[in-house]
Amino acid sequence: MASLSAVLLQRSSSRAREYLQLQRAAGGTVALHLERLLQRWWCCCCSGGGRFGARKAHGMAASREGDNRNGVVTGGVEDAYGEDRATEDQPVTPWAVCVASGHSLLRDPRHNKGLSFTEKERDAHYLRGLLPPVVLSQDLQEKRLLQNVRQFEVPLQRYMALMDLQERNERLFYKLLIDNVEELLPVVYTPTVGEACQKYGSIFRRPQGLYISLKEKGRILEVLRNWPEKSIQVIVVTDGERILGLGDLGCQGMGIPVGKLALYTALGGVRPSACLPITIDVGTTNEDLLKDEFYIGLKQRRATGQEYYELLDEFMTAVRQNYGQKVLVQFEDFANHNAFTLLEKYRANHLVFNDDIQGTAAVVLAGLIAALKSVGGTLADHKFLFFGAGEAGTGIAELVALEISRQGKVSVEEARQKIWLVDSKGLVVASRNEILQPFKKRYAHEHEPVKDLLDAVKAIRPTALIGSAGVGRSFTKEVIETMSSINERPIILALSNPTSQSECTAEEAYTWSQGRAIFGSGSPFDPVKYNDKLFVPAQANNAYIFPGFGLGVVISGAVRVTDDMVLAAAEGLADQVTPEHIDKGLIYPPFSIIRKISANISARVAAKAYDLGLASQLPRPKDLVKYAESCMYTPVYRSYR
């Protein structure tokens, strides 16, 4: 009662004071009755029900302007998020954070437990009769829901079922995802999320993030303040121009930030309430969407140039003003011409990260380091040919060059000589310098022009062929056979998403290389049997990197992201690959232990932030791995008084 009393006094309500005076003068059952009346009155004042109503009420009670605390204060220890965390077995009072009793409690996804509310909880919070009489454990709820999800044969139906679950029971959603991550990851993210974005206008039911359009220019700070959560640690933002390999999907790209942040929580342990998905809508060039009566975004041609960059400037300024300098802004699925520009523009003064450039680079570098445990030698001993010279390809290339430079103690310019690019016009060479984009010029080496990929492989003779062009089946039989004639163990990485855009399939890579290829892909592939040997394809999924990377940034209170921190994440992932994994042809550890992997990566990232003097969470924990694990969100139900 004291927590609610303090909240009411802060609100300076005369009606609240009247109730408090009555409560203090009363005792026994009268006091209990008044407490319940007070509970109901506060819920009526604050809660509009549902995700946004309940969370807005929570924000009114737990946050004041300028106060960055946003947790359930129950006597736990203060964590890196700046909130007190109760232990899992410690009871909490839902109405202390303004969760409405009765029907409104069932409609709040953060506190709803469905049929897991105990008999005492049903009496205490007016749930008696609103639920069937049975009380189920969370494990039994999870088992039932997994059976229900599996009944859907269409992946998009599974996606919609899981999104509905997230909106009504947050903890059960994350427990289901964490416990069945290998099965459900392709549903909540690639490849299914691509189809969800394409059809987002048709399947849209309720807002899952924040939409900022050209209509809000000059009012972005006001829009950010409309979001009910005040203590934000990670933002994933897209402008929808390059969604996976599907092109410009405009406002319907919201499925990407929503999916990414679900993985930040499930795989990296970042609190759901600390995550904010944002779509910046500046129009679209997709004619089909512009003609679609169900399209949910601005029906105008995409803004470019000064108008575009002014909106982004206002957005970044507003984020820093509203949330401070320690909120991580992850740029996601921006087109090449904007992705590099935005990263370079803001990385010096803001805490920014581009998963398509830096995240992809880190996970691929980790795979290459692990693959060399089988091939032999160091990175500097090999050549690397990239098919695709966009943000992903050149981002990977630059991180590989940095690692070669660091390992071999040579200049980055010298390290780049080991790396070659092929774009839509052929091999990137010095004679093309006048027409090349700036980020390609650093890899334009002296060589005669080569028009196609096969001839480039023959000319360069690389150890590793890395595809990120989004051109499906571009790694032909002739290309892989040539790679196999050059190398005893050719490294073939077909990274493009979704599956239809993959440069080759796992079966093609293993078959055409006669089972000698070390294969990795961006999309998942089933195991392949060749000559009585079972090959398990490695998925070079960014989800290995960005959740742990984000957690490391949060727990250290880092104020900037540097290339050294990205390298630390890649090395942390590669170190998780054991000799047993290598024997099976795996260049990544199994996804079933992803939370352990994320804890180790976050510790590496945090350690580097401390070493560079970029961490603000002091003092530095003695054991960063254990500290990371202690800060990770766990979706087990809480007990309510």
Question: Distance (Å, rounded) from C-alpha 445 to C-alpha 28?
Answer: 85
Amino acid at 323: Y
| Nearest Cα residue to 577 out of 297, 366, 322 | 366
Residue found under tokens 């549903």:
187
Rounded alpha-carbon distances, angstroms, from residue 1 to 19, 32, 337: 12, 10, 56
Question: Distance (Å, rounded) from C-alpha 601 to C-alpha 588?
Answer: 13
The yes-or-no answer on residue 633 being catalytic is no
Q: Which residue among the candidates 81, 126, 159, 189 is catalytic per the annotation?
A: 189
DSSP labels, 439-488: HHHTT-BS-----SHHHHHHHH--SEEEE-S--TT-S-HHHHHHHHHH-S
| Token code pair at residue 522 | 């961006």
Question: Distance (Å, rounded) from C-alpha 80 to C-alpha 73?
Answer: 15
User: CB of 268 within 8 A of CB of 598?
Assistant: yes
Question: Distance (Å, rounded) from C-alpha 425 to C-alpha 440?
Answer: 13
Q: Rg of the Cα trace of the chain? A: 26
Q: Which residue among the candidates 56, 113, 230, 260 is catalytic per the annotation?
A: 260
Question: Distance (Å, rounded) from C-alpha 319 to C-alpha 326?
Answer: 10
DSSP state of 497: S
Strand blocks (E) in 251-373: 275-281, 328-331, 352-354
Residue found under tokens 């052929």:
426
Peptide bond into 133 cis (omega under 30): no
**CA angle, residues 37, 40, 43, in degrees to nearest 5:** 150
Residues at the binding site for (S)-malate are: 242, 497, 541
**CA angle, residues 264, 621, 576, in degrees to nearest 5:** 50
The yes-or-no answer on residue 510 being catalytic is no
Contacts of residue 239, Cβ cutoff 8 Å, sequence gap at least 6: 253, 279, 280, 281, 282, 333, 334, 338
User: CB of 513 within 8 A of CB of 483?
Assistant: yes
Residues at the binding site for a divalent metal cation are: 332-333, 356
DSSP state of 535: E
Residue found under tokens 């060039």:
285
User: CB of 170 within 8 A of CB of 109?
Assistant: yes
Residue found under tokens 């006669």:
514
Distance of CA 193 to the CA centre of its chain: 13
- Phi/psi of residue 199, nearest 5 degrees: -110, 20
Helix (H, G, I), strand (E, B) or coil at 616: coil
Instruction: Tell me how many helices (H) and strands (E) the chain has.
Output: 29, 16
| Nearest Cα residue to 573 out of 270, 426, 362 | 362
Strands in 491-494's sheet, in edge-to-edge order, are 426-427, 419-423, 384-387, 464-467, 491-494, 518-521, 538-539
| Active site amino acids | 189, 260
